[in-house]
């Protein structure tokens, strides 16, 4: 089977379409990030999370109102998997006491249920702050390392292109997380595993971009007479088959993770699905056009 063999699409000349699509997506994402914001998970916000199993018959709405008094504030109550509920409370108070209050409230309100604590996640405020800092360092550290590596291996224009694509990808993925939070039936809170997913997206998107750039570098030396945009266009076409095949295999596995990986990995694999799609798109429509634009600016500047 062969897909995109001898592909000859006019991608670079039509890059404006890409700019429009990216522009719309970026505007939407940034707007949503500003208006709706991101909901931070327990890792970065601190708090207590209890998953209480054996509660399939308990209504989350009733449970929430029952727990509001004993826990104070506004506890979040959600379904977790098939048989559990997830209860989220602020980090104040003694853990055992909070757990005891949850269990006794449940026993009182739902005498037929036999609740069992299946999972806890407790993060103190200071610890959450440290985790947040670590995540920020990791993301910026990753961007810096990539910029430097591409700088060493290619030229600064390519570095700019790669980093532009990465920022584009992460912004849009974050935007989609912000837009869809509460709409989809699973948690899209930003926690450590989502940061891990983001860095993986960064790695993946870069992977795609580097393959195209590698080809550009090769063709620039090979086809000295052609102008730069054509060379880039040709490079994209030559690697299109590989780009698509790798995206397909990666999409297959992340979709499987999304479907079968269980509740814990749902947000993580959702981020990866979006990231793989956007990452593939951006290496063609963002990273490559960026180096073309930079090349043109440079040319007009020197002449």
Partner 1 sequence: MQGNGFRIALTVFFVGLCGYYLYPSVQNMYVSYQMGQMEEAERVEYQENNRQRLERIRENSLNLGLDLQGGMHVTLEVQVASLLDQLARNKDESFNNILRTARQQAQEADVTVLDAFLQEFEAQNPEGRLSRYFRSESDNITRRSDNSAVEEYLQAQVDDAVQRAMEIVRNRVDRYGVTEPSIQAKGDQRIAVELPGVEDPSRVRNLLESASQLTFHLTGDPQQLQGAMQRIIEYYEPSAEDSAQIAAADTAAGEAAGEEMPQPADTSDAQMAEADTGETEDGTAIATDEQEGEQGTSLTGPGEDASQAGPQNPLLAAMQPMPRQQTPIAGRVFASDTSTVRELLSRPEVQDLLPSGVQLMWGANPVVTTEDGREAFNLFAVRAEPEMTGDVVTDASVQFRQQTNAPMVSITMNSTGARQWARITGANVGEPVTIVLDGIVYSYANIQERIPGGRTQIEGLESRQEASDIVTVLKSGALPAPVNIVEERTVGPTLGEESVRAGFISVVVGLLLVVLFMIMYYRTAGVVADIALLLNVILILGILAGFNATLTLPGIAGIVLTIGMAVDANVLIYDRVREEQATGKTLRAAIDAGYEQSLSAILDANITTFFMGVILYSFGVGPVQGFAVTLMAGILSSLFTAIIVTRLIFDYMVEERSMEVSYG
- Which residues, 105 to 134, sit near partner 1 by CB under 8 A? 116-127, 129-131, 133-134
Residue 264 binds partner 1 (CB under 8 A): yes
Among 27, 74, 108, 249, binds partner 1 (CB under 8 A): 249
63-82: contacts with partner 1 (CB under 8 A): 81
Contact 198, 170 (CB under 8 A): yes
Residue 146 binds partner 1 (CB under 8 A): yes
Residue 199 binds partner 1 (CB under 8 A): yes
- What is the phi/psi pair of residue 76, to 5°? -90, 140
CA distance from start to end of the chain: 47
Among 11, 29, 47, 51, binds partner 1 (CB under 8 A): 51
Contact 51, 118 (CB under 8 A): yes
Among 14, 256, 296, 299, binds partner 1 (CB under 8 A): 256
Number of residues that bind partner 1 (CB under 8 A): 77
Buried b / exposed e over 90-127, threshold 16 CB at 10 Å, is bbeeeeeebbebbeebbeeebeebebeebeeebbeeee
Residue 38 binds partner 1 (CB under 8 A): no
The tokens describing 225, both together, are: 């007479």
Q: Which stretch binds partner 1 (CB under 8 A): 23-31, 65-73, 167-175, 237-245?
A: 237-245
Contact 274, 173 (CB under 8 A): yes
Among 85, 89, 160, 210, binds partner 1 (CB under 8 A): 210
C-alpha 61, offset from chain centre: 30
Residue 137 binds partner 1 (CB under 8 A): yes
Contact 294, 165 (CB under 8 A): no
163-192: contacts with partner 1 (CB under 8 A): 192
């Amino acid at each position: 089977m062969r897909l995109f063999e001898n592909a000859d699409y006019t991608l670079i000349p039509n890059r404006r379409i890409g700019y429009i699509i990216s522009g719309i997506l970026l505007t939407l994402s940034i707007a949503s990030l500003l208006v709706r914001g991101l909901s931070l998970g327990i890792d970065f916000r601190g708090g207590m999370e209890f998953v209480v199993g054996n509660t399939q018959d308990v209504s989350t709405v009733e449970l929430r109102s029952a727990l509001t008094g004993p826990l104070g504030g506004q506890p979040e109550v959600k379904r977790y998997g098939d048989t559990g509920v997830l209860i989220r409370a602020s980090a104040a108070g003694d853990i055992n006491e909070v757990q005891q209050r949850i269990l006794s409230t449940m026993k009182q309100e739902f005498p037929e249920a036999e609740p069992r604590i299946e999972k806890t996640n407790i993060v103190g405020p200071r610890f959450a702050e440290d985790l947040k800092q670590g995540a920020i360092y990791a993301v910026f550290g990753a961007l810096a390392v990539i910029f430097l590596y591409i700088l060493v291996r290619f030229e600064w224009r390519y570095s700019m292109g790669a980093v532009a694509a990465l920022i584009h990808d992460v912004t849009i993925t974050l935007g989609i997380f912000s837009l869809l939070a509460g709409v989809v039936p699973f948690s899209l809170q930003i926690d450590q595993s989502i940061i891990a997913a983001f860095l993986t997206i960064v790695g993946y998107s870069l992977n795609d971009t580097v393959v195209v750039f590698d080809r550009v570098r090769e063709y620039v030396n090979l086809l000295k007479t052609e102008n730069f945009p054509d060379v880039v266009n040709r490079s994209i076409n030559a690697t299109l088959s590989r780009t698509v095949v790798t995206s397909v295999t990666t999409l297959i596995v992340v979709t499987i993770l999304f479907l079968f990986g269980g509740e814990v990995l749902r947000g993580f694999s959702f981020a990866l699905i979006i990231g793989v799609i956007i990452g593939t798109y951006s290496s063609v429509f963002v990273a490559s056009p960026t180096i073309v634009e930079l090349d043109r600016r440079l040319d007009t500047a020197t002449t």
